[in-house]
Structure 1
Amino acid sequence: MLSAAEAAIDDAAADETERQRNRAKLYMPPRSRDGRRMRPAGTRLDAAGAQALMAQLAAEDARLAGGRTS
């Protein structure tokens, strides 16, 4: 969906400079309450979180495969 929106914005631009300005506005980080631009906090995954995620993925794979292993 975002690609279609980008294409529509690009098609409406008169020249390459306007296209670049539109794209910069589209991907600009949102403003905070005091008006400054801020990026959302990144999420970190420690070793325990990664192992828990891998266990969830393995359980989901087993569920989708119906208990069959290849």
Structure 2
Amino acid sequence: MLSAAEAAIDDAAADDTERQRNRARLYTPPRTADGRRMRPAGTRLDAASAQALMAQLAAEDAQLAGRRTS
């Protein structure tokens, strides 16, 4: 859906320079109230959280596998 909107914006542009400006506006992160660029929060996992997630997925997988055989 984003690519369709991007294509419509590109079609409306008069030249390549305007297309570049439009693309920069579209993909530049928004600004905060004090004018700085806002970056999305990171979604990193530490080792313990990753291991806990893997254990949870393994348990769910085992549970689903057990349901299929019954």
Identify unmatched segments of 5+ residues in structure 1.
none
Decide which structure has the larger Cα Rg and report it.
Answer: 2
Q: Share of identical aligned residues, percent?
A: 88
Whichever structure has more helix as a proportion of its residues is 2
TM-score, with length taken from structure 2 = 0.70
Q: How does 1:9-20 map to 2 (within 5 A)?
A: 9-20=9-20
- What root-mean-square deviation, in Å, do the aligned CA atoms of Structure 1 and Structure 2 show? 2.4
Q: 1:68 to 1:40 in 2, by over 3 A?
A: same
Number of positions where the alignment pairs a residue of Structure 1 with one of Structure 2: 69
Identify unmatched segments of 5+ residues in structure 2.
none
Aligned-pair CA distance for 1:46: 1.4
Q: Partner amino acid for 2:47?
A: A
Q: Aligned residue for 1:43? A: 43
